[in-house]
Amino acid sequence: DSGVTQTPKHLITATGQRVTLRCSPRSGDLSVYWYQQSLDQGLQFLIQYYNGEERAKGNILERFSAQQFPDLHSELNLSSLELGDSALYFCASSVSDRTNYGYTFGSGTRLTVV
């Protein structure tokens, strides 16, 4: 157990639907990062939050949104889902908002859009 909790582990949904992925960071970590990993691909950075505020945005589609709540957990909302959105979505946390500390990854949510 890395200390970063992601739920659900698996999600199967139809095209056009909306889903919410949840992440609880490791205790004491203030930064949360979301990454998308398609089959046998690299990690694509989506978005970063630090202590409730958005800090950086990557290749995140307009159909996707995220937020970090006062208790520091984060949610990634994916809407109008397309087949190409099928991927493993990782959440990572870090104590800092800079990249001078290592990231701890959760076990991921595997999203399948049918």
Q: Kindly state the smallest distance separating residue 80's Cβ from another protein, in Å.
A: 25
Q: Kindly state the smallest distance separating residue 25's Cβ from another protein, in Å.
A: 14
Judged by the rule CB under 8 A, the positions of this chain that interact with another protein are 2, 33, 35, 41-43, 45, 48, 55-56, 58, 90, 92, 97-108
- Sorted by sequence, the CB contacts under 8 Å of residue 30 that are 6+ apart come out as 50, 51, 72, 94, 95, 96, 97
**Nearest CA among 19, 24, 7 for reference residue 92:** 24
Q: Kindly state the smallest distance separating residue 62's Cβ from another protein, in Å.
A: 19
Nearer to another protein, 75 or 97 (CB): 97
Q: Are 109 and 23 in contact (CB under 8 A)?
A: no
**Nearest CA among 76, 87, 35 for reference residue 58:** 35
Nearer to another protein, 64 or 90 (CB): 90
Nearer to another protein, 14 or 40 (CB): 40
